[in-house]
Amino acid sequence: MMSAPTTVLNSEQPATGSPSEAPSNRFVHTLRTSRPLRLLVRNVPAMIAFAFILLVLFLALFGNALSPHDPNVQNLSHSLAGPSGENWLGTDAYGRDLFSRLLASANVTLLAVVQAVGVAAVIGIPTGLFAGLVGGWLGGLISRISDALQSLPPLILAVAIIGIFGPGLTNAMVAIGFVMAPSLYRLARGAAESVATETYIEAARALGCGKGRLMWSHVLPNAASPLLVQLSFSAGVAIVAEASLSFLGLGVQAPQTSWGSMVREAFDNVYTAPGLIVAPAVMIVLTVLAFSTFGDGLRDALEGSGKVKKS
């Protein structure tokens, strides 16, 4: 009698998909199979912009620990001092270290972006999905309100809202988020309308699926890609808006500081110390440019994979 063949496993070769290799294998598999991700990684300007965004995020989270001085400590005997070994970027009119204030401002700027974009997303996305699914006179009414808000000058509308609720970072960013919401509303509604009559939506309705579940489980995934692109652009808009409102004295209030408030303080001494305005202005420009460039790269990657329709 012939014995059944036996299979000898090589103990030196770990089995594919072992627990120790699972995380790296999954990452490599995702990188190789995700076409949008591959296209985005190959986009050098977008990756440079993403790296800069990560740097700003790092400074926002750990800037206080890295600051060589307390950003709010005044030393009038060293006011408007130039760059030195002790004060790398010099001091302002109150003798406060500019580099420390620049790091502290990154945290406030990130908070402003989160507040403004968060408010815009909470208002714009659900109402857009709801209006696109419901349609009729109610959807039309919501769209008319959105169009009316979008026709007004954004900064003027934000100033009007701040005039009602008062100045301050939170009030300013809520106002900016309210102003940015219509752009997200239009994207969400367009995505909802494009799939509202699809067979799987009708089948879900026939099975008793409610509007809430339809919105979040079936419609939102179709709108996720263009919404992510718009959120990236909205972050840059929020930074500019915060800087503008803080420059006007309607945003950040002392003792808080932001890049916009630093520009305002530098503007008061523009003739005696013109260099004060350089550092915060450069950070505003580079950060806005980074979000815009990354948004362009993300849109190109999603368009190349067919997840976002070319306009």
Three-class SS of 167-228: CCHHHHHHHHHHHHHHHHHHHHHHHHHHHCCCHHHHHHHHCCCCHHHHHHHHHHHHHHHHHH
Q: At what angle do helices 98-134 and 44-66 cross, to 10 degrees?
A: 120
Show me where the domains of the chain are located: 43-66+91-304
Q: Calculate ∠ Cα 132-212-217, nearest 5°.
A: 85
- Higher pLDDT: 28 or 149? It is 149
Q: What is the pLDDT of residues 164-192, one digit of tens each?
A: 888 888 888 998 999 899 999 998 888 88
- Higher pLDDT: 261 or 37? It is 261
For 284, half-sphere exposure in the C-beta direction (CA atoms, 13 angstrom radius) is 22
Give the whole-angstrom CA distance, residue 237 versus residue 216: 27
**Dihedral angle at the C-alpha atoms of 133, 135, 140, 146, nearest 10 degrees?**
0
Q: What is the pLDDT of residues 85-144, one digit of tens each?
A: 888 888 988 899 999 999 999 999 899 999 999 999 999 999 998 888 887 788 888 889
Superfamily of domain 43-66+91-304: MetI-like (1.10.3720.10)
Helix (H) or strand (E) holding 103, with range, is: helix 98-134
16 has a pLDDT exceeding 50: no
Token pair listed for 203: 């089948």
Model confidence at 56, in pLDDT bands (50, 70, 90)?
very high
Give the whole-angstrom CA distance, residue 158 versus residue 114: 17
Cβ contacts of 60 within 8 Å, gap of 6 or more: 106, 107, 109, 110, 111
pLDDT of residue 307: 55
In the chain, what percentage of residues exceed pLDDT 70? 87
